[in-house]
């Protein structure tokens, strides 16, 4: 069975509870050690080793979809958290990177192999050497290769938003996915459980896209029995800073360009009346179509959010053909 980041356990999908509860119970088994992020924060040496290896992973996995590099980096962090390197030898870092990507390729059951990912002009390792390193990494991970990541919880938490319009749900999911990818490289995020990262990414995305409904969304997730409120708020604060960088870069672009109206724009603008007064709709307290945000003074901000939705929709469409359903 091909490994799916959103459905990591080969369980029946008949009951959502049957799937989600085991994920929350075992997610800590798929995290780096509790002191790993502290070691990285207080050691430039270990932090530089991690960043250098991640750069190599990105170079080798660039031709593939981004979920491959995400899985490989997950393996890397879990391995390095229990196996410190005494020296940052370039050949050793490259061998670890090749082996992590190779293991990710095997889990994805792609047609590519370690030979294919070494065609970037760097040092070439023979298959036996890679296999020995793979075995060392597998031993360090206790053979837990079906990683429980933030993507494993995204469908569970998005159900709290109770969207009636699928395009808006897809836009939220795509933006949260972008934030999760961005957050993986940040050292501070490594201390939090995958479920908290997932919930925080969705909250950050909803704050950008649906600010009027955000308090309802936040309250719903905070009341989830699987979530520790203080930990979620701490994780959300870190994620918000990470997400802000990408959001602000889009706003800068929007401020100097015009955004064409597309299908999503029409859906959003349908919540407006001709004189810019909100149209009242009967809908669920925390879901449904985006609430009216229209006044003449905030039209520019709405255009900025529409740009985020345009980008998120494009991101989602670009991955329709990859193996993992995101």
Output the six-digit token pair for 118: 């070494």
pLDDT above 90 coverage of the chain, percent = 39
From-to residues of CATH 1.10.472.10 in the chain: 31-148, 149-252
pLDDT, greater one: 93 or 302: 93
**Among candidate residues 206, 294, 221, 304, the one with its CA nearest the CA of residue 255:** 304
127-141, 156-170, 212-226, 259-273 — which is least confidently predicted? 259-273
pLDDT band, very low/low/confident/very high, at 246 (cuts 50, 70, 90) = low
pLDDT, greater one: 301 or 185: 185
pLDDT digits (tens, 9 = 90+) for 268-314: 333 333 333 332 333 344 433 333 333 333 444 454 455 555 555 54
Output the six-digit token pair for 306: 């529409």
Residue 199: phi, psi to the nearest 5? -60, -40
For 285, counting Cβ atoms within 10 Å of its Cβ (0-12 exposed, 13-18 middle, 19+ buried), the class is: exposed
Instruction: Give the pLDDT score at 15.
Output: 45
Residue 278 DSSP SS3: strand
Output the six-digit token pair for 48: 């530089």
Instruction: Give the pLDDT score at 71.
Output: 94
Specify the CATH number of the domain 149-252: 1.10.472.10
pLDDT band, very low/low/confident/very high, at 17 (cuts 50, 70, 90) = low
Instruction: Give the pLDDT score at 62.
Output: 80
* Statement: residue 225 has pLDDT above 60: yes
* Enclosing H/E stretch for 169: helix 166-183
* Statement: residue 264 has pLDDT above 50: no
pLDDT band, very low/low/confident/very high, at 256 (cuts 50, 70, 90) = very low
Instruction: Give the pLDDT score at 236.
Output: 95
pLDDT band, very low/low/confident/very high, at 34 (cuts 50, 70, 90) = confident
Mean pLDDT of 161-171: 86
Mean pLDDT of 144-166: 89
Q: Which residue has the tokens 């995305």?
A: 205
Contact 162, 13 (CB under 8 A): no
Beta bridge partners of 7: 4
Average pLDDT, the chain: 75
Instruction: Give the pLDDT score at 79.
Output: 95
Instruction: Give the pLDDT score at 276.
Output: 36
For 74, counting Cβ atoms within 10 Å of its Cβ (0-12 exposed, 13-18 middle, 19+ buried), the class is: buried
Domain 31-148 has CATH 1.10.472.10: yes
pLDDT, greater one: 108 or 296: 108
158-172, 185-199, 280-294 — which is least confidently predicted? 280-294
């Amino acid at each position: 069975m091909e490994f799916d980041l959103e459905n990591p356990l080969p369980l029946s999908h008949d009951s959502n509870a049957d799937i989600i509860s085991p994920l929350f119970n075992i997610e800590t088994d798929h995290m780096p050690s509790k002191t790993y992020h502290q070691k990285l924060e207080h050691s430039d040496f270990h932090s530089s080793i991690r960043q250098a290896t991640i750069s190599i992973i990105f170079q080798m996995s660039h031709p593939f979809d981004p979920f491959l590099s995400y899985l490989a980096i997950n393996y890397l962090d879990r391995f390095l958290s229990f196996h410190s390197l005494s020296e940052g030898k370039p050949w050793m870092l490259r061998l670890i990177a090749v082996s992590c990507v190779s293991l990710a390729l095997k889990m994805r059951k792609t047609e590519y192999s370690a030979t294919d990912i070494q065609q970037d002009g760097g040092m070439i390792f023979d298959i036996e050497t890679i296999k020995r390193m793979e075995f060392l990494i597998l031993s360090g991970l206790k053979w837990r290769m079906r990683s429980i990541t933030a993507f494993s919880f995204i469908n569970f938490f998005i159900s709290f938003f109770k969207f009636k319009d699928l395009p808006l749900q897809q836009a939220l999911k795509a933006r949260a996915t972008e934030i999760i990818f961005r957050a993986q490289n940040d050292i501070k995020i490594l201390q939090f459980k995958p479920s908290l990262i997932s919930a925080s990414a969705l909250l950050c995305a909803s704050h950008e896209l649906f600010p009027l409904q955000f308090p309802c969304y936040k309250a719903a997730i905070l009341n989830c029995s699987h979530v520790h409120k203080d930990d979620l708020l701490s994780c959300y604060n870190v994620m918000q800073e990470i997400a802000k960088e990408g959001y602000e870069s889009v706003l800068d672009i929007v401020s100097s360009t015009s955004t064409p109206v597309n299908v999503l724009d029409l859906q959003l603008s349908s919540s407006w009346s001709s004189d810019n007064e909100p149209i009242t709709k009967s809908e669920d307290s925390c879901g449904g179509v985006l609430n009216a945000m229209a006044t003449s003074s905030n039209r520019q901000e709405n255009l900025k959010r529409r740009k985020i939705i345009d980008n998120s929709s494009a991101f989602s469409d670009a991955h329709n053909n990859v193996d993992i359903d995101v």
